[in-house]
Structure 1
């Protein structure tokens, strides 16, 4: 059963960071020549890519600042790339020398991240790629293996694979043993092998034995607690709990060549739509090599934080509100209060249909609590004989209340 906290968390922080961030390369994919889904991904010689680990030294990394930012945004959890496809571990692993412990920085970035986020009350998630393009037994991806093809991947011998699985299990066990409670383990990369090769069921059992309350995403085949649509909002909510992971530009890691940033309004609209469908938005940030968040991302995150400061009530801890035919926009609900997210500027009024009009106590603006005028109507016979008719509410929306990002209107109903 999914933990209740995740079901209505609504907003989390995803952090893609690694040694390649110091030179503005996307994480991992440049070493295999790029991929169609990352339009600004570079093509870097394999050895050149891996060599940047030798100089990784993020002296301006301040996880407390990340935690304060996440808290100001109303985020309920944060997930860090403990190990991406390139095999570089941001934690002090005993299973390999290819980790942050063997860089000039030396300190355990995962531990620092967890301590900072936990101090601010956020739940902890760790991303772990099943893929390892650096490990000799995976086997490692070489320059001769380019271009990357999903249907033609380097394959290990049985002996190599047995050693790799032992290595992978050891690293996951370290993450789930050495850092206290971990709330989510977020896998990726399962497409490169079969569930049987990954020993997915055995791995899931080990994970749940070590961390009984942990959530596992759906990218560990057949073992997940929630679904993870990527870079889009599903047209219809999945049947299972779900979370959309989304970048602020078109790249996951810090990419100095990617200047295609989504606007603050677009990101806030996405948050409202995801919440209205009952999902969570896992919004990605891409720290630079020094540990600082790029200014373009920080600007948008601060806009979201400003909006959330007066509208968080309509997002966090809510359930889906009205059906699409009832209101032309996103809506959420908490108890007897319905929140309408105006994603388009209205022409004087908005309409809400199919609600118990005689139970409406008040209509107001969430940001400042000011009352709005409204009228109601229903079928004539219902108005005469039905003590609790469903009808239509027409709400006046003056220009003066319009928020530059999303205006939120509250409908309060009697018990």
Structure 2
């Protein structure tokens, strides 16, 4: 999720010779100012903002009196992280084979549906820009039936380079199937909820990011110059300087809301869950990386409550967010406490459908550099297991009303 840039419309960004920078002691207003300058924000933790910028962007920030320190060269980091180019078009760099390519993910999901047919159904919500299926896994005690049970949705990998999030969604799928019947909590939740998982919302971008076994630091989808999927949602789209109108920006919001087929497909699925005038999905969690944060709406405004969120509803978001953070050690806060963003999935889910929608920014907390997006595959198991209790809390919360 973490990245905002606002470049002049139609202006090409020079991504050559980008440096990785830090600014310390920031507050939300300064972070918003930095984000709007056109840089590619990588992470924020304890007031330290880390971002990639070209020389012109860095100079412009210095001229505004912002004290930034260059800590690395982005291209050198990418070369060091994946030095060997391989022949395969879809293979993670050597040493990171524990991550799943789209083909491997598809095979795992099909095998899971075959092995657990009574509680799992595998379908899709539509196709990506390049024609890949956007897999949808349903887990419930009667997966083939539409029961009158609270529903919860998990989405991962809106941003291509955030591969750890796909592993997080896969962890949810495997845990709620393999441990059904043996783990009492898992069994009860599967028996009393309908759990939906979309492991990769951006498979085209994810595959491009590892093409020929070398990381590219790619964030967007593959439509034209790419659209930032988490700035393409319809509520307050492009309203507040929290996204960019430039196709070259890392946070290009697209020419219109839902112009990306991926967001349009997921939104159509969510809208299809309005049955008899009532939205069946009660809770939603979107996974990103990195910074170890629990975030809740709104991102487009600093206000805690407004005409679409009562003070009581705002308190519920905060209370649930704090419970989730207490379980995994993340930092809980309203999304705009980082900086202003608009057109995000959380804001749309709540404002349009009253879905309790939050975001997790996963490992690491900060100072991760390129490893923030590409942690070694040895971190997959501990960092996904770390969220087991939080996932249980959210699935249970789907059955509660304000």
Q: Same fold (TM over 0.5)?
A: no
Larger radius of gyration: 1
Per the normalisation by structure 2, the TM-score is 0.31
Q: What TM-score do you get using the length of structure 1 for normalisation?
A: 0.30
